[in-house]
Chains A and B, each alone.
Chain A
Amino acid sequence: MLANFWLRALHWGAVRNGAIGTALLALLIVVGSRNLQDFDWALAGYAFASLFAVFGIIYRYSVWLTKPPTRKYWRRGWELLWQGKSTALVLLSRAIVSRLVLQNFILRRGTVRYIAHMLILSGCALAAAVTFPLVFGWLHFEQGALGPDPTYEVVFFGMKVQEIPLQGVFSWAIFHALIISSFLVIPGVAIALFRRMTDHGEIAIQRFTQDLMPLILLFAIAFSGLLLWVSYEFLDGYFYSVLAQFHAITVIGTLLYMPFGKLFHIFQRPASIGVALYKALNAAKEQAVCPVTHQPFAPKMQTEDLKGVLSELRFDYSPDQPGRCHWNEISPKGRRLLIGAAHSRVRKGAFD
Chain B
Amino acid sequence: MNPFKDFFIDFQRCIGCKACMAACAECDTHRGTPMIQVEQVDPARSPQTVPMVCMHCKNPTCANSCPADAIKKDENGIVHSSLKPRCIACRNCELSCPFGVPIVKDDIQLMQKCDMCFDRTSVGKKPMCATVCPTGALFYGTHEEIQQLRPNSKPVNRWRFGKQKVETRVYVMVPHDVDEMVVDSPEFGQTGAGSILDSERDSGREFL
Chain A: residues with CB nearer than 8 A to chain B?
A: 64, 67, 69-70, 72-73, 99, 105, 108-109, 199-201, 203-205, 262, 265, 268-269, 271-272, 275, 278-279, 291-294, 298, 302-303, 306, 309-310, 313, 315-321, 323-352
Contact = CB atoms under 8 A, between A and B. Distances in A.
Contact of A350 (B12, B85, B150, B181): B12
Interface centre among B46, B182, B183 (most CB of A within 10 A): B183
Contact of B99 (A291, A315, A319, A335): A335
A298 B28 contact: no
B29 A69 contact: no
21 contacts: A67-B69, A69-B64, A70-B68, A105-B109, A105-B110, A108-B107, A291-B185, A303-B95, A315-B61, A317-B163, A320-B163, A325-B188, A331-B100, A333-B100, A335-B98, A336-B99, A338-B183, A339-B11, A341-B42, A342-B183, A348-B205
B61 A69 contact: no
A111 to B, nearest CB: 13
Contacts of A317: 98, 161-164
Contacts of A336: 37, 39, 50, 52, 99-100
Contact of A318 (B49, B162, B186): B162
Interface in B117-135: 118-119, 122
Contacts of B110: 105, 109
Interface stretch (B17-25, B138-146, B171-179): B171-179
B1 interface: no
B109 A340 contact: no
A332 B94 contact: yes
Contacts of A326: 162, 185
A108 B110 CA distance: 11
A204 B29 contact: yes
A347 B162 contact: no
The 7 nearest A-B residue pairs measured at CB: A332-B100, A340-B50, A349-B208, A204-B119, A335-B100, A351-B12, A272-B88
Given A69-B65, A201-B119, A319-B185, A338 B11 contact: no
Contacts of A319: 162-163, 185
A14 to B, nearest CB: 15
A294 B205 CA distance: 26
Given A204-B29, A334-B193, A298 B95 contact: yes
Nearest to B30: A201
Nearest to A335: B100
A108 B186 CA distance: 39
Given A201-B31, A204-B28, A342-B184, 9 more contacts: A200-B119, A201-B30, A204-B122, A268-B86, A291-B191, A342-B181, A343-B172, A344-B207, A347-B12
A51 B80 CA distance: 34
A324 B39 contact: no
A293 B95 contact: no
B12 A272 contact: no
A200 B125 CA distance: 15
B192 A344 contact: no
B1 to A, nearest CB: 18
Contact of B162 (A203, A272, A316, A346): A316
Contacts of B11: 339-340, 343-344, 347
B48 A332 contact: no
A47 to B, nearest CB: 27
A350 B175 CA distance: 10
B208 A337 contact: no
A291 B186 CA distance: 7
B58 interface: no
A343 B181 contact: yes
Contact of A279 (B41, B67, B90): B90
A69 B66 contact: yes
Contacts of A313: 64-65
Given A306-B95, A346-B178, A349-B206, A69 B67 contact: yes
Given A317-B161, A344-B208, A324 B108 contact: no
B65 A262 contact: no
A324 B29 contact: no
B101 interface: yes
A350 to B, nearest CB: 7
A337 B86 contact: no
B118 A204 contact: yes
